[in-house]
Amino acid sequence: MASRERTIRVAIVAAAAISLVASAALLLLRQRRLRRRRRRGVACGGGGRRRRRCFEPEEKPQNRFKRVLADNSYSPFKHLKCEGKEKGVSLKMHPYEEEINSLLDDPPLISNFCSNNKYSDMSTSYSWIDTEAQLESLTKLLSGERVFAVDTEQHSLRSFLGYTALMQISTQKEDFLIDTIALHDVMGILRPVFADRSICKVFHGADNDVLWLQRDFHIYVVNMFDTAKACEILSKPYKSLAYLLETYCGVSTDKTFQREDWRVRPLSTEMIEYARSDAHYLLYISDCLASELHKRICDTSDCPDDKFNFFFEASRRANMVCMQLYVKDNESTPGASAAASIFSRYMNVQGFESLKLGESKDLIWKLCAWRDLMARVHDESLRFVLSDQAIAALAVTIPKSSTEVYNVIVEADLSNGSAYPSQPSPSPVVVTHVEELCCLLQDSTTNIDNVFKLLLDKNLGQTGCCPLSVYNYALVSEFNLKKTSMFSLKHGGEKLTPTNNKKASRELFIQKFSCKSPVYHNCRIYATDGRLLCYCDRRKLEWYLQRNLAKMVEEDPPAIMLLFEPKGRPEDEDNDFYIHSKKNICVGCGEKSHYIRYRIIPSCYRMHFPEHLKSHRSHDIVLLCVDCHEAAHAAAEKYKKQIAGEFGIPLFVQRIVGSGDKPIITVSSSIDGKDDDTGVSPLQLRTAAMALLRHGSSMPLERQAELMQIVKAYYGGREVTPEDLEMALFVGMSPHERRRFEKKKGLSFLNPEKRTISKGSTCTAVEAAKKDSEMDHSTNQELITGKFDVSDGGQGDLSTTNEDVDRRQPPEKGNNCTLDYGNGDGITSESDKKLSLLGHGPHGKQVVEHLLNNYGEEGIREFCQRWRQVFVEAIHPRFLPSGWNIKHSGRRDFGEYSVYNPAKKAP
């Protein structure tokens, strides 16, 4: 027995020794392979060409697609070109624009829409369409219908752009579920039916569905009735499909199914029931809503001419949605907007403040750029590749090894609840490219311009580790054509061609001036009775919460309920614009990657409006991309000249006249347009003063005397001192122009108290700052008194823009400057100090005074409508927020303590 036990013990020890030796051998072999791989350039920065295997992904349905209209490249989306049309379709031109415009001008009658659809449950069977023959048969059937309902289900987690996974179509007799995955390449068979203006297509909330159908199948919807738009017009308390199903059909739905994986085949019974319900009841609901809209026509007025056709308005709004065009969300600088958003949301994370802001921003941007490219290469969503919170955590901790990278990502995802079975953490993409990620984190000197070239060369192409597909092939081919200019600008020392210079200037302009974060936050404010008052930004919500004037009722998206009764309601003032959510896109073309604020009514006029007429800022401040902004600005400048000729008020100041030590400045901008021969132009005066300051001692005496005579003419003929020359440099400049000029030229004055237009002004910077503080305090007084501003419900920076403040010149103590506008009346009010003697200051003030004196406040409203019409004709905007209207009245009822109350402004 003892010998047997010894034998067993020896065998166990031998087995353990053999196992240990084998493990050591495997470890040595692994280390040898790793060193060999690094020598061959597989590691980050290497130049080797040996192909290594990428991770073996699960078979994704989109890999079987043979025809993809929207790939993952940075090239713009190409829309359909209709046969028989003379002009090709551009990026901003809808292929069925003519047909949709005809519906907007002449909406279909309600009799052509209603089919007396009766309520029916889903006890009847449905048809599953997954063959081309079945799809052709369905198309023939739909072509004989007068109306049918449509809905789609999307998948976006395992695809960069997402794709339509299921389409539901319901007629009065039958439901159809179309397998758009199996029929992806032939879905264009349905295109003629959807483009037929004689057939009405019923959707609910079709803003996204319309774009998705264009993106995947080149299907464009013509003639649509949107039940969500009907809810808006009928002022329903809610406009969700779940609310309509429960109200009109008594059907409850579980909207969590919307987030299910609609790629799976076969679909579960619960998913089929949910998909059918989204389209099956739409025809009955649309009939109910259409009847309510028709009744509103009869209830509006006894006079037929005064009746507002609510059904026509619902049809018009729905077909305006059809005018939208899909645009790929391509940034001029990949990952820049995501990096800005992550930095603003996670900058207060523990340990983040210890980093230098510049370095942390740069690191987050590199990680976002890496994630963007990897998502395009593997056709995965950004959140699947790497979550936002994981990027922030990586930027804070800067792990050094792959194991540390994995741990940081897993911890960040778990702490934020983003890890679930369908989304592994870390993702397979991170596991495959973890070495590149480590190098990106450790090498702070890595130029992001070179990262893309390195990654694409290493991961795509014949020698790359990642397989080429219909989604990423155009990415690498396009990049090879545009390597030098796609992701970066030319650096100093390299000469740019005119074409590249123009493109580089445009990209630099976008990077510098475009909005760095979303403008509209779409937070909601409710009244005490639960009615929606407006959408606003987060800061406004926080203001009410911090003062215990409201309570939080929803977290995502944020919503509060006021604890007091506001002064006004949107329905009281007929301003629907402020009770609709808004998208952060260009209102002209739908560009999403960048946008700039644009003031439809130029500030040179609006700054002189009475306060109570310019309180509706956000309605006339919209978002435009660079191209649309340029077109709108050109149209505005052209129309300013037209106004100058119409009113006989010159656009620019022609002459300025000084009179020695007397603090008087006369602006010669007479109504008849005749210029005063005396005096000098502002530009002439400043040019002469600059030349004398810079080169007066070295220039010929004759030229020096000639320039000095110009300056003396402004100072009334007296002798001019060097301080006078410095003062003359700023004559005619606005405060902003002065600061910019001083910063650019590096000028320094011996006596800062004399930086004014005329001598005798002794306003110091401290006094100006004090005045500004008092002005800001008075502006906030309205909120302190509990007055709720419903109509100024703009969001983001639109509602807090200082367009009417930043142009005000701080009051200057002792400066009794008089501005004479050609009518002989000297005006010495504080508002006059806002004016610039150059630009459009005097012109704008004269135009507004002319309108008020001759037409009153109604003239100002009509003037605003003219500018909105100019904007619409120049841009033809397709993405204006709901409720935006050329004839927006801006009517307001102000509280007793409101700073906008006209009574407070009365003398």
Beta bridge partners of 170: 149, 175
The token pair at 361 is 């921003």
Percent of residues, the chain, with pLDDT higher than 90: 24
CB 55 within 8 A of CB 431: yes
pLDDT band (50, 70, 90) for residue 384: very high
From 499-508, 726-735, 824-833, the region with the lowest mean pLDDT: 824-833
Q: Who has greater pLDDT, 315 or 502?
A: 315
The predicted model gives 558-579 an average pLDDT of 75
Residues 494 and 411: their CA atoms lie apart, in Å, by 45
pLDDT of residue 786: 35
Beta bridge partners of 147: 200
pLDDT band (50, 70, 90) for residue 245: very high
Q: Who has greater pLDDT, 419 or 571?
A: 571
From 185-199, 268-282, 507-521, the region with the lowest mean pLDDT: 507-521
The predicted model gives 862-869 an average pLDDT of 91
Q: Who has greater pLDDT, 620 or 766?
A: 620
The token pair at 58 is 């699960």
- Half-sphere exposure in the Cβ direction for 490 (13 Å, CA): 16
pLDDT of residue 155: 93
Q: Who has greater pLDDT, 757 or 501?
A: 501
Sign of the torsion angle spanned by Cα atoms 796, 799, 804, 808: negative
pLDDT of residue 735: 66
Domains with residue ranges and CATH for the chain: 96-323 (3.30.420.10), 336-479 (1.10.150.80), 682-742 (no CATH)
Q: From the centroid of its chain, how far is CA 662? A: 51
pLDDT of residue 379: 92
pLDDT of residue 338: 85
* Backbone dihedral angles phi then psi of residue 665, each to the nearest 5 degrees: -125, 125
pLDDT of residue 159: 94
pLDDT of residue 424: 84
The predicted model gives 204-208 an average pLDDT of 92
Q: Who has greater pLDDT, 731 or 403?
A: 403
CB 650 within 8 A of CB 729: no
Residue 10 has pLDDT above 50, yes or no: yes
pLDDT band (50, 70, 90) for residue 589: confident
- The 10s digit of each residue's pLDDT in 805-818 is 333 333 333 333 33
Residues 61 and 164: their CA atoms lie apart, in Å, by 11
pLDDT of residue 439: 85
Residue 571 has pLDDT above 70, yes or no: no
pLDDT of residue 726: 84
The predicted model gives 131-151 an average pLDDT of 96
pLDDT band (50, 70, 90) for residue 888: confident
Residues 506 and 612: their CA atoms lie apart, in Å, by 38
pLDDT of residue 542: 87
Closest CA to 868 of 622, 624, 627, 610: 622
pLDDT of residue 46: 38
pLDDT band (50, 70, 90) for residue 574: low
Residue 804 has pLDDT above 50, yes or no: no
Residues 144 and 126: their CA atoms lie apart, in Å, by 19
Residues 143 and 206: their CA atoms lie apart, in Å, by 21
From 380-389, 618-627, 734-743, the region with the lowest mean pLDDT: 734-743
pLDDT of residue 825: 35
Q: Who has greater pLDDT, 281 or 903?
A: 281
pLDDT of residue 151: 96
From 355-364, 542-551, 713-722, the region with the lowest mean pLDDT: 355-364
The continuous run of DSSP H or E covering 705 comes out as helix 701-714
From 78-82, 497-501, 609-613, the region with the lowest mean pLDDT: 497-501
Sign of the torsion angle spanned by Cα atoms 602, 604, 610, 611: positive
pLDDT band (50, 70, 90) for residue 59: confident
From 284-298, 615-629, 667-681, 837-851, the region with the lowest mean pLDDT: 667-681
CB 668 within 8 A of CB 842: no
pLDDT of residue 560: 92
The token pair at 752 is 């800062």
Closest CA to 179 of 125, 131, 126: 131
Mean pLDDT, all residues of the chain: 74
- Angle, in degrees to the nearest 10, between helices 97-105 and 310-322: 170
Residue 145 has pLDDT above 80, yes or no: yes
